[in-house]
Structure 1
């Protein structure tokens, strides 16, 4: 388990995904790349598929970027993808966005302004940009708050009507 309770996985060159604990428990001889989460491993499988079908040129797992020399600050991305037109992009798979990551992201963007970075999150079986996820989450929260406000208004109105009818009965 990693520090965020994600299960580490190993992805072989042919795209087979093994959970690390199974490999250790059964002492399997598995050669592949270790990832900190199942989502990262599944995205690696997706990149292997894209490379096989010629959708991307190549990719590298866990590329290291030096963000600052003294004190030395490094950023280890999840993937560096080389597109068919030889442009490159960094892909980072996130379960949650930590404050440390936000700082490193700003340093990365300052040092490598021409290298795009895609931050993805896996939701409902697909990888979506984290900005889209945050927008959808905010929209859901606004909709829920709107419904709660409407419900509170109806309850308040119902209480007012009940109180008015009770006052009317007392006056009779």
Structure 2
């Protein structure tokens, strides 16, 4: 297993290399949801163009792209773009904003796994839950 710049360990499942244990765990979660009929299908590593390439003063500026972890199509037909995150980097926050602007018809969901909160949870909900626990602890 090799580590990424954020300390994540790469994991191989079904001959697919995942960037983190959590990403691999979410893949297994999606497979189970697919078997249960909740998820119709899912794709991995889908690339979205956030800004096209352009030339200025003879210099070529490359396109800005975002590669998501999963694009999930549910049985009811709605689609979610899912990124498995431990934390949001500054670069990701900018790309998320660009994505939301460029693709208003799609929902970008950042998830992480939290045992204390019952499993897969959206990153924003995790932050709120942690703040609530911190307030409760400080009130004691």
Normalised by the shorter chain, which TM-score bucket? 0.7 to 0.9
SS at match of 1:85: coil
The Cα of 1:142 is off from its aligned counterpart by: 2.5
Q: Distance in 1 between matches of 2:9 and 2:45?
A: 17
The aligned counterpart of 1:133 is: 126
1:38 aligns with 2:38: no
1:88 aligns with 2:79: yes
Q: Distance in 1 between matches of 2:139 and 2:24?
A: 39
The aligned counterpart of 2:38 is: 55
SS at match of 2:33: helix
The aligned counterpart of 1:170 is: none
1:100 aligns with 2:102: no
Q: Distance in 2 between matches of 1:69 and 1:145?
A: 49
1:62-73 equivalence runs, <5 A: 62-70=45-53, 71=61, 72-73=63-64
Q: Greater strand share, 1 or 2?
A: 2
Bigger mean CA deviation after superposition, 136-145 or 36-45: 136-145
Q: Relative CO higher for 1 or 2, CA cutoff 8 Å, sep ≥ 6?
A: 2
SS at match of 1:62: strand
Q: Which runs of 5+ in 1 are unaligned?
A: 13-31, 148-172
The Cα of 1:87 is off from its aligned counterpart by: 2.4
Aligned residues: 128
Q: Which runs of 5+ in 2 are unaligned?
A: 54-60
Q: Distance in 2 between matches of 1:33 and 1:87?
A: 26
The aligned counterpart of 2:10 is: 8
Question: TM-score by structure 2 length?
Answer: 0.85
Q: Greater helix share, 1 or 2?
A: 1
The aligned counterpart of 1:142 is: 135
The aligned counterpart of 1:162 is: none
Q: Distance in 2 between matches of 1:127 and 1:138?
A: 18
The aligned counterpart of 1:18 is: none
Q: Distance in 2 between matches of 1:45 and 1:138?
A: 29
SS at match of 2:110: strand
